[in-house]
Chains A and B, each alone.
Chain A
């Protein structure tokens, strides 16, 4: 046994290391490879699986319907665990192995870390899960785009809604955000915008994601007496606790959330307390009647008959796939070679693009599509209903 162990361990280790030296896959001219580093495990796992499914499904749908003439889309994804170093390693591995022309990243962190090489060496068309304004920056991140509005834009939409529906006095707003990159990203912009719109920011409350005890935060809210509270950077906890706590203390505040905080699970979890909860979502919901969403449901009925509902993150992945395909279509129609440069140039030509209602009419300015809609919770039906038209942020 010892002999066997001694003789086999190190040769095995050597072979294993050789397994890591990945040979490049031969490129097929009629294929377009799209690579992705997805956060399927780790802190972002709740969304990573759904985003991946959405992107994967749309690319398969595009293949089925031959949306990109003469080209087959090949999707390759790997788990990067929401860990920037692993994500960079995964990114390089996929680039080395498949030489894709389009990549998808798991986080803002990856986007920032890979930027120098993305701009200098790889030059691939890059989308990601991030809505951070840092990446909507054509000067520093020419190849990256945001699949919708940035968090700052979303905040702007909510603040404008508040300003539009104000009473006689200045509206009082509190910002309630998590101490993560998601949470803090739009806050500086939100403060200035609120001042511009004549809104008083009466409190800023910061907690960890998933905080268990929010008593002190609720008490601070009670002291500040805001008319509106905007959540940023939370998915579920502690939003229900805060809302319930506020109601327990008799506060009549209207609560609002941005993209990650307006999923159906909030209504499910809050039940009656969800009454009046509002938010901004760049996309339509899975139950919408728009043709684009209907097509999404039809595809899922066929391909994933067991899935009854797809969350917002799935739609984010689906929409990113739409952007990729639209850019590809334009490049192919113009007869240009498919490269990161031609794709990013094609992105800039997207104006008033009709997405079939998945989102409003899309125009990419500064590598983002600042469009969204304000929704309100309908507790009876257990869904969110739009209370505004598609708003385009300047």
Chain B
């Protein structure tokens, strides 16, 4: 609950972080993020980098699904397109990362158009099905277009270089990953303060009314799909510099489903929700393993029996969130904040 909040200009009112308190928290978060890599161990650092990369892709998916209401099951494949493009440009042509990555994003964009144009022309769930087709077809291309993608061997990529320093350890690439993630999150948040972003939301909520108001449905949906594919492509390019090798088996349908889970569990239509969702979906299997680990002294073979549980828990998580908490983690966060803000006035 905001009290004593007085704005004198539209700009101040529309700011992303409206109160001094939230700005202070944001600054603290920034400091924590900068200090984290020096304190965390290898394992957590690797996970943090992985989450940063996946978050960018998930943000793209949220723009498409959460804000524009279209379902895509091929997000991993578009990430793959970006990854391979970046890999080819970096490994074969020796282009620097700040050229190769945006090129990856652009090519993912174009790939998106190939599948988006026929399916977004029609209302309904056709994009979902078309993106499954995209997933199958693109995976086949990755594995079989030997001349370009190196077939099943894949492509080895040299590390990114910034001012002559090679980003070849987790610590060094951390800063690139997190700053790009922050940049894209900020861009996404700002997107929804513009006319374009509001058009997306209008298409999601009631497309007939949107059309009446002059929003061109087809162009809006395509634009949303292109932006979302661009995000996926950038994430792919970054991923390639992170893992330094790309093979066709890295972008399966299950990864697309994971992205959808991140977006839904986090909360559709909420930027911070997507970030929560990414962290949640990545960490839960790791937590499960840590739990199995803890019981190792009592049940030495627990791992073999509990390992498949992670699929069950993953699925159960999705189902549970959809039934009980449809607005996801973002809603849980907001409720917690409200509770503390209003205490003791509201139970």
B303 touches A78 (CB 8 A): yes
B170 to chain A, nearest CB (A): 8
B249: Cβ under 8 A from any A Cβ: yes
Question: C-beta contact mask, A33-67 vs B, less than 8 Å → 1, else 0?
Answer: 00000001100000001001000000000000000
> Which residues from B are CB-within-8-Å of A89?
43, 46-47, 50, 286
A2, A10, A41: the one contacting B307 at CB < 8 Å is A41
CB contact under 8 A between A6 and B43, given known A81-B307, A134-B153, A181-B249: no
Question: C-beta contact mask, B279-294 vs A, less than 8 Å → 1, else 0?
Answer: 0000101110110010
B27: Cβ under 8 A from any A Cβ: no
A93 touches B43 (CB 8 A): yes
Interface centre among B151, B153, B307 (most CB of A within 10 A): B307
A19 touches B247 (CB 8 A): no
B339 touches A179 (CB 8 A): no
A96 touches B335 (CB 8 A): no
> Which residues from A are CB-within-8-Å of B151?
184
Distance between Cα atoms of A20 and B244 in the complex (Å): 25
> Which residues from A are CB-within-8-Å of B154?
112
B162: Cβ under 8 A from any A Cβ: no
A112 touches B245 (CB 8 A): yes
Distance between Cα atoms of A52 and B151 in the complex (Å): 30
Interface set, chain A 78-97, CB cutoff 8 A to B: 78-79, 81, 84-86, 88-90, 92-93, 95-97
Interface set, chain A 85-115, CB cutoff 8 A to B: 85-86, 88-90, 92-93, 95-97, 109, 112-113
A370 to chain B, nearest CB (A): 21
A21: Cβ under 8 A from any B Cβ: yes
Distance between Cα atoms of A77 and B43 in the complex (Å): 16
Interface centre among A2, A3, A19 (most CB of B within 10 A): A19
Count of chain A residues near B, Cβ 8 A: 42
Distance between Cα atoms of A394 and B197 in the complex (Å): 65
> Which residues from A are CB-within-8-Å of B211?
none
A113 touches B286 (CB 8 A): no
A21 touches B243 (CB 8 A): no
> Which residues from B are CB-within-8-Å of A185?
152
A180: Cβ under 8 A from any B Cβ: yes
Interface centre among B43, B143, B247 (most CB of A within 10 A): B43
B44: Cβ under 8 A from any A Cβ: yes
A311 to chain B, nearest CB (A): 16
A7 to chain B, nearest CB (A): 7
Question: C-beta contact mask, B242-260 vs A, less than 8 Å → 1, else 0?
Answer: 0111010110000000000
A54 to chain B, nearest CB (A): 13
> Which residues from B are CB-within-8-Å of A20?
43-44, 47, 283, 286-287, 290
A22: Cβ under 8 A from any B Cβ: yes
A21 touches B44 (CB 8 A): yes
A116 touches B335 (CB 8 A): no
Distance between Cα atoms of A77 and B296 in the complex (Å): 10
> Which residues from B are CB-within-8-Å of A7?
336, 339
B42: Cβ under 8 A from any A Cβ: yes
Interface set, chain A 204-253, CB cutoff 8 A to B: none
